[in-house]
């Protein structure tokens, strides 16, 4: 397992947990606007940029624990691929390996079926 990929995966999963919490708040707003504001889920720990995404789209991205939403240009091409480019945000998917593994293990929704 490569260390850099793992670190990036962990950072992104941590931001995902922040967004899980924001989602509760966003749910109230998205009922009216259909969009929500989330923190960029890129691998940079220092990055605190926000992006706006349609609530439905975000749910779709989150269905796959290896997919993340980021501010365009924040992708890490050595560990992830941009699978979708939208106005205001990109969707990236982790390649198989350290980052994808870390993302899966830290998925707050626990899709591992461990419990
Ligand atoms: Zn970012």
What DSSP string runs through 95-107? PTTHHHHHHHHT-
How far is ligand 1, taken at its centre, from the CA of residue 16, in Å? 12
Q: Where are the domains of the chain?
A: 3-105
Mean pLDDT, residues 13-36: 76
How far is ligand 1, taken at its centre, from the CA of residue 115, in Å? 32
Mean pLDDT, residues 80-98: 90
pLDDT surpassing 70 at residue 44:
yes
89-94 β-sheet, strand order: 67-70, 89-94, 80-86
pLDDT score of 1: 57
The average confidence (pLDDT) of the chain is 84
Q: 83 or 111, which is more confident?
A: 83
Query: Tens of pLDDT along 61-81?
Result: 999 989 999 999 999 998 899
How far is ligand 1, taken at its centre, from the CA of residue 109, in Å? 22
pLDDT surpassing 60 at residue 43:
yes
Q: How far is CA 23 from CA 5, 70, 79, 110, in A?
A: 26, 16, 26, 17
Spatial distance between the Cα atoms of 115 and 108, rounded to a whole number of angstroms = 13
pTM: 0.67
pLDDT surpassing 90 at residue 27:
no
Collect all residues with Cβ–Cβ distance below 8 Å to 85 and sequence separation of at least 6: 72, 91
How far is ligand 1, taken at its centre, from the CA of residue 21, in Å? 18
How far is ligand 1, taken at its centre, from the CA of residue 75, in Å? 8
How far is ligand 1, taken at its centre, from the CA of residue 39, in Å? 8
How far is ligand 1, taken at its centre, from the CA of residue 112, in Å? 26
């Amino acid at each position: 397992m490569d260390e850099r990929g793992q670190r990036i995966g962990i950072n992104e999963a941590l931001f995902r947990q922040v967004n899980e919490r924001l989602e509760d708040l966003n749910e109230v707003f998205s009922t009216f606007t259909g969009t929500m504001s989330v923190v960029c889920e890129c691998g940079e720990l220092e990055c605190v940029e926000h992006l706006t995404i349609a609530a439905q789209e975000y749910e779709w991205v989150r269905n796959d624990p290896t997919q993340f939403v980021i501010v365009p240009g924040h992708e890490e091409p050595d560990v992830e691929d941009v699978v979708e480019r939208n106005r205001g945000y990109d969707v990236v998917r982790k390649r198989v390996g350290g980052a994808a593994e870390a993302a899966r293990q830290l998925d707050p929704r626990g899709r591992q079926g461990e419990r």
